[in-house]
Amino acid sequence: MSKSYIEELERGTKQNPSFNKVVALAQALGVKVDELILSA
């Protein structure tokens, strides 16, 4: 996953990432998937 993709998610210009990308982000951040989803 590229830095620019993550930046787009943060800015809200890219929405609805695939479940696999959400899992990868959660693992990289050391959090549970539901923590990412519930904090959105």
Q: For position 1, what pLDDT does the model report?
A: 87
Asked whether residue 29 is domain-assigned, the answer is yes
Is residue 28 situated within a structural domain?
Answer: yes
CA distance 32 to 29: 9
Give the domain extent around 28: 16-40
Residue 14 clears pLDDT 80, i.e. is over it: yes
- Domain for residue 2, yes or no? no
Q: Is residue 3 assigned to a domain?
A: no
pLDDT at 39 over 80: no
> Which residues are CB-neighbours of 23 under 8 A, at least 6 positions away?
33
Asked if residue 4 is part of any domain, the answer here is no
Q: What is the domain count for the chain?
A: 1
11 part of a folded domain: no
**Domain presence at residue 30:** yes
In a domain, 9, yes or no: no
Which long-range contacts (C-beta less than 8 Å, at least 24 apart) are formed by 37-40?
A: none
pTM: 0.76
Q: Are 22 and 33 in contact (CB under 8 A)?
A: yes
